[in-house]
Structure 1
Amino acid sequence: MAYFEGNGHSYTDSRFENLFFAGNEALNETEVFENTPGKEKVGILGYDFKNQIEKLDSENPEFFPLPDLCFFEPELSFQVTENGFYSKNKLPETWLDELANSIPSKASSLTCTVSPQISRENYLAKIKTIQDEIRDGNTYEANFCQAFYGKFDSWDPIAAYLRLNELSKMPFSGLFKAKNQWLVSASPERFLKKEGNQLIAQPIKGTIHRGRNEQEDAENQQALLASEKERAENLMITDLTRNDLARVSKTGSVRVEELFGIYPFPRVFQMISTVSSEINPSTSLRDIIYGTFPMGSMTGAPKISTMKIIEREEDFRRGWFSGAYGWIDEDGDFDFSVVIRSIIADLDAKKLYFGVGSAITIDADARLEYEECALKAQAILELLRGN
C-alpha cells in the first residue's frame, strides 16, 4: 500500500499528486527497471542500493533489516481530488467500508520511547573529523547524519501519518506499507521527476527556522538568502546535481532553472535549487537511476569518496532513510521524493527509527549543525513523545 500527498503546496514543477495505490505483487529489480508500458510501479529505493551502483559497502549496524529495493505493482490506484476521487480500476463494492474500518481511532498509540543514537559530544567530535577530511582534500561537503530510535509495544503508523501531517504539512508527504514495515514521511524534498523527455531535480541545502511573526519570518528568510555558507553548500550540491543529470541527458540540455530559491514550510525556510535536462528517448529508467542515485543532497561532493567517509563516520545503516520514495506511471514517467523527515518502523520487531543530517563544510560550526538537526527532528519528536 502507498499514499502520496502534496498538501496544496505551491512548489516549482508541482508537488506530489494525491494518489493511493494498493497491491500484493512484489517486483524484483529486473521488473522495476525494465521498460513495461502500461504498468505502474510504486515503492522505495533504499540508500544502500548505492552498493549495487558503485563499489561501496554498508557495514554499520541496522535497526532492523530492510530491502534495498521495495516495489510493488498496484492492483488498485486512484487519485484524490477536491471533488472526490478518480480511479482507472473497477473498485470492489466493499472498499469504502474496508477503508473506513482501517482509519484509526483517537485512542491509537502514537508515542514510544525514543532516544538519540549518538551523544552530542560524539557528534561534535565526528564533525571535527569530517572537517579534517575536507582539509585533506577528500571531500568538499559531507551530509553527515544521526539517527533516533524507538521501541514500542504497540504503534499505529496510519494514525502517526495523520498526526505528522497535521504537525508538518509537506509537499512530498507519504505513507508506505510493505508487510510489517512502514514509511511515515513528511518530506520537503524532491529527488527526481520525469515528464516525457524532461528530468527535474530539486536539491535542498540551506535551512533556517521560521519566525514568531511576519517580521521575523522576513528577516530569517533574508538571512538565509544572504548566508554565504548556505549558498556555498547549495551551489556545491547544485553543481553535483548538474553533473549527475549530464550523465544521462542530451549534451548541453542541463539547465539551472532556479538557484537559491527560498521556500516556506511549517517550521523552516529551505533553500532549494531546480535543475532540469532533456534525456534521449532511448535512455532507460535503469540508466537514470544508476546515473543519479543517491541524491547529492544526502551524500555530498565528490559523491563516491564522500559516501565512504559517511559510512566510516556514521554509526547506523541508513536503510530507507535518505533513499527515494515514489511511483512510476504507465508511460514510464515518475516522481520520487527524498526520504527525510520520515519515520521507518517494523511492527514485528517493535522498533522504529528516523534520521536527520546536515551539510558539513569547512566553515560549519558543529554546535550550529547539531541545532539544525534538532530543528529538523522537532515535529517527529513531538509526535513520538506526545508533546
Structure 2
Amino acid sequence: MNLSVIERRILPWREPLAVARRLKDRPGAIALLSDCGSLGRWSFVAADPDQIHVGGLDEGLQLLRQPDWVRQTVGLMAYDAGARPATGPRPAAWPDLILARYPAMLAFDHAGQEVIAIGRGPGRPAAIVAADRAEGWLEAAVSPTAPPPPPAASFDADAPSDAYTAAVADVVQRIAAGELFQANVARSWSGSLRRQGEPFDVVLRLAGRASAYGAYWRLGDRALVSNSPELFLTFDPTTGRIETRPIKGTRPRHADPALDAALAEGLASSAKDRAENLMIVDLMRNDLSRVATPGSVRVERLFEVERLPTVHHLVSTVSARARPGVGAADILQATFPPGSITGAPKHQAMKVIASHEPPRGPWCGSLFHLEDGRMTASVLIRTAAFERVGDLWRFRTLAGAGIVADSDPAAELAETDSKIRALREALVGS
C-alpha cells in the first residue's frame, strides 16, 4: 500500500508525553520527544506501523530510496552496521537497521501549541481513516502523574574503571605513534528493571531533563529510550540543505552558579576541547562533501557552549547543499556512523574502538524520522537499549569520551560519569 494521499487536521494542544503514555504498549509505539528548545520545536507520536523492515543496512537503505518509504517512516541504524567495514564481522547486538512506516502520526508543535493529526493512504478514504486513528490517540491521552519510583534493581559497570583508564592510555599511545588522531572510547553499564518496571518509566523519569532528541520506541521484546542532545543530520529535499551539529567537549554542571559559569568558560577556552571538536568538524566536512554540491560545505558556527541539565557541551554546526538527485538514504550512507562518536581518521578509529569494546548495538547509532523525504536524525548518545528476557527487561547503556594526544585517563573516566548521570538517576535514582 502506498501513502501518497495525506489528510491533516489541526487539533487542540495536549502534551506529547501524555499521548505516548497511552500508546506505549501498542505495536511499534514511537515517541520522538523534544525539549521545546531552539532545536526541539516538534515532537511526534505514533503506533501501529503498516510495514516494518528488520535486517541488513544495504537492503534497508534501498527501501529508503523508494517514495513510499520516505513519506512517514522512523528508522534506527545500529552503530555496528556502519562500523563493520572497518571492524570486520562481529556478533550483532541489535539488528543493523530497523524501519517502520506509519500511516497515522501526531505532530506536536511546541511553539504554536497545536497538534496535527496526519493520516496517509493510497486514497482519500484510507488517509481519513488513518487521521481518525491519530485523532483518537489524542483524545485518549492520559496526563502523566508524578514520576514512578526508580525502575531498575541494578546499574552495574560491565568492566572495572581501571579497564577504561587502561583503554584510554592505550589510545593515547596509538595517537603518539601516529596511528590516528582521535578515538571515542566508551564504557558500558547494564542491569535489569524490577519485575513491575518497564522502559517507559525511564522516559517519565527523564521528563524533567528532556533533550532536543529524546525518544521511546517499543518493538516487541526490544525497546529504546534516548535522551540525546546531539543532532546527527537534518536534510530538506526542497532546498537541498544538509546540517550536522557534532558535539565534542564536555564539562559537568554545578549547583553553584559562579562555579557552573566557570566550568562553561573553561570548556569554551580549552585548547584541548577545541582541537578535539575541530577534528570532528573537519571529518564531517569531508563526509558531507561526498554528497554535496562542490563548494557548498561550510562551517556556520564553531565552538558554541550548549548548556544541558547535567553537562555543558561544545557544539559546532556544519552545513552543505546536496547534489541533485541525492536523498536521505545517500546522505546516511555517506556519513554513518557519526564522526563525533568514532574519531579521526574514522576508519582507523573504528578499528581501535573495536579492539577495546564489544559491539555497541543502538548506542551511538542513529534514530531518524522521515517525512516526505525530509529527515531529522539524532546521534544515539544518552541512550539505553532494552530487551525483555522472560518477564524482566534487561538494559545496557554506554558513555564515551573523545581521546586525543593529551587526554588524561582519570579525567576521561570522570567525563563518562558526568555523561551517564541523568540516565543512571532515571534508572536507579542515584
What TM-score does the superposition give when structure 1 sets the normalisation length? 0.91
Structure 1 unaligned blocks of 5 or more: none
> Using a 3 Å threshold, how does the CA distance of structure 1 residues 222 and 96 change in structure 2: closer, same or farther?
closer
What amino acid is the match of 2:151? L
- Of 41, 46, 65, which residue of structure 2 is paired with 1:34? 65
Would you identify which runs of 4 or more consecutive aligned residues in structure 1 move more than 4 Å? 96-99, 103-109
> Using a 3 Å threshold, how does the CA distance of structure 1 residues 109 and 254 change in structure 2: closer, same or farther?
same
What amino acid is the match of 1:71? L
> Using a 3 Å threshold, how does the CA distance of structure 1 residues 85 and 348 change in structure 2: closer, same or farther?
farther
What amino acid is the match of 2:407? A
What amino acid is the match of 2:327? S
Contact 2:42 2:109 in 1 (8 A): no
Aligned residues: 376
SS of aligned partner of 1:207: strand
2-structure distance, mates of 1:36, 1:286: 11
Matches within 5 A, 1:1-387: 1-10=29-38, 14-15=39-40, 17-24=42-49, 25-27=51-53, 29-30=60-61, 32-36=63-67, 39-51=71-83, 54=85, 56-57=87-88, 59=90, 65-82=93-110, 83-89=113-119, 90-92=131-133, 95-96=137-138, 99-100=141-142, 110-152=151-193, 153-166=195-208, 168-196=209-237, 197-314=240-357, 316-330=358-372, 332-348=373-389, 350-387=393-430
Shift, 1:211, TM fit: 2.7
2-structure distance, mates of 1:26, 1:127: 39
SS of aligned partner of 1:251: coil
> Using a 3 Å threshold, how does the CA distance of structure 1 residues 104 and 91 change in structure 2: closer, same or farther?
farther
What amino acid is the match of 2:184? N
Tell me the residue number matched to 2:25: none
2-structure distance, mates of 1:340, 1:128: 23
Shift, 1:55, TM fit: 5.0
Higher relative contact order (CA 8 A, sep 6+): 1
2-structure distance, mates of 1:41, 1:171: 19
Shift, 1:40, TM fit: 1.4
Structure 2 unaligned blocks of 5 or more: 1-28, 55-59, 120-130
Shift, 1:97, TM fit: 6.6
Shift, 1:107, TM fit: 5.4
2-structure distance, mates of 1:342, 1:376: 11
SS of aligned partner of 2:197: coil
> Using a 3 Å threshold, how does the CA distance of structure 1 residues 282 and 158 change in structure 2: closer, same or farther?
same
2-structure distance, mates of 1:242, 1:51: 19
1-structure distance, mates of 2:94, 2:218: 12
Contact 2:90 2:359 in 1 (8 A): yes
2-structure distance, mates of 1:356, 1:9: 24
Contact 1:21 1:77 in 2 (8 A): yes
SS of aligned partner of 1:91: helix
Contact 1:77 1:87 in 2 (8 A): yes
Contact 2:248 2:313 in 1 (8 A): yes
2-structure distance, mates of 1:343, 1:42: 18
Shift, 1:269, TM fit: 1.0
Q: CA RMSD in A?
A: 2.1
1-structure distance, mates of 2:141, 2:78: 28
What amino acid is the match of 2:172? Q
SS of aligned partner of 1:375: helix
SS of aligned partner of 2:87: coil
1-structure distance, mates of 2:166, 2:137: 53
Shift, 1:26, TM fit: 0.1
Q: Deviations over 1:123-182 (max 9, x none)?
A: 11111111121122111000001110012334211221011122x221111111111211
What amino acid is the match of 1:34? R
2-structure distance, mates of 1:262, 1:305: 29
1-structure distance, mates of 2:244, 2:80: 20
Segment drifting more, 333-342 vs 150-159: 150-159
SS of aligned partner of 1:286: helix
1-structure distance, mates of 2:424, 2:361: 20
What amino acid is the match of 2:329? R
Contact 2:280 2:339 in 1 (8 A): yes
> Using a 3 Å threshold, how does the CA distance of structure 1 residues 355 and 32 change in structure 2: closer, same or farther?
farther
Shift, 1:98, TM fit: 5.4
